[in-house]
Amino acid sequence: MSVKVAIAGVSGRMGRALLEAVAADAGCGLHAALDRPSSPLVGQDAGAAWGNASGVRVSDQPAAALAGAQALIDFTRPEATFGYLDACVAAKVPLVIGTTGFDEAGKARIADAAGKIPVVFAPNMSVGVNLLMKLAELAAQVLEDGYDIEIIEAHHRHKVDAPSGTALGLGQAVARAIDRDLASCAVYGREGVTGERDPRTIGFATVRGGDIVGDHTLLFAGIGERVELTHKASSRATFAQGALRAAKWLQGRAPGLYDMRDVLGLK
């Protein structure tokens, strides 16, 4: 029996990718399509944008649209996510959050809601990226001494947060593995006379341009050698497929805050 999925932000790039992924997945069915009140898509068939009628009209009323849904997938902006979060709690609908850019207060709000409904919250829904996170922990434990750690990420020109949530997730995975506090050891930019590199820091570099879907490289630079772990996304379909996998996994789960490592059994 297919999972009844609601999708938030259907006018966005990820919204469209999710609509296409649901249409192609026999294990899911589109239950509701949501967008902001000002969206020109409201009232239209959710598949009209690419000429593939879905039979579901886009709504700007989450409370009504979520009735009967078995999961909501949200890749929007933090301010929009909170509205969907509250609606899911009220309707007792499991939630998959792929939105990034939350501050600590926002993350705490999500954690609080997860005490009432099951939530998968991850900076990246890609199966490959989450495998990379696991490999990053192992590599960091082996290469902690004598290797400088840098994280380089690149995304399209429209991305509004930096570093990416995935880059920060990589940094957190590495820091956790070698017992460092990312908040105190991260370096997010270098300019001018910076002095020699502190070997205990974790550096971040950000590139924005064109239509880059998402590239992430974790670099361990030693004397005489470098080890690089890289993931490159060529299509948003990989994130959509991972999100659908999470939505299916949430069925029957107890309230709680989960991530993609839970979904993939990598913990």
- DSSP per residue, 180-203: --HHHHEE----S---SPPTT-EE
Residue 37: which residues within 8 A CB-CB, separation 6 or more? 60
Asked if residue 62 lies in contact with residue 84, where contact means CB atoms within 8 angstroms, the answer is yes
100, two tokens: 């990034």
Contact indicator for 100, 164 with CB cutoff of 8 Å:
yes
Rounded CA-CA distance 183/200 in Å is 12
CB 95 within 8 A of CB 84: yes
231 a catalytic residue: no
By the 8 A CB rule, do 21 and 47 touch?
no
Q: Tell me which of 155, 216, 231, 248 is the catalytic residue.
A: 155
CA 242 – CA 233 distance, rounded (Å): 13
Distance from C-alpha of 39 to C-alpha of 35, rounded to nearest angstrom: 6
Surface-to-core class of residue 95, CB atoms within 10 Å of its CB (0-12 exposed, 13-18 middle, 19+ buried): buried
Given 134, 158, 159, 231, the catalytic residue: 159
Annotation marks residue 107 as catalytic: no
Catalytically annotated residues: 155, 159
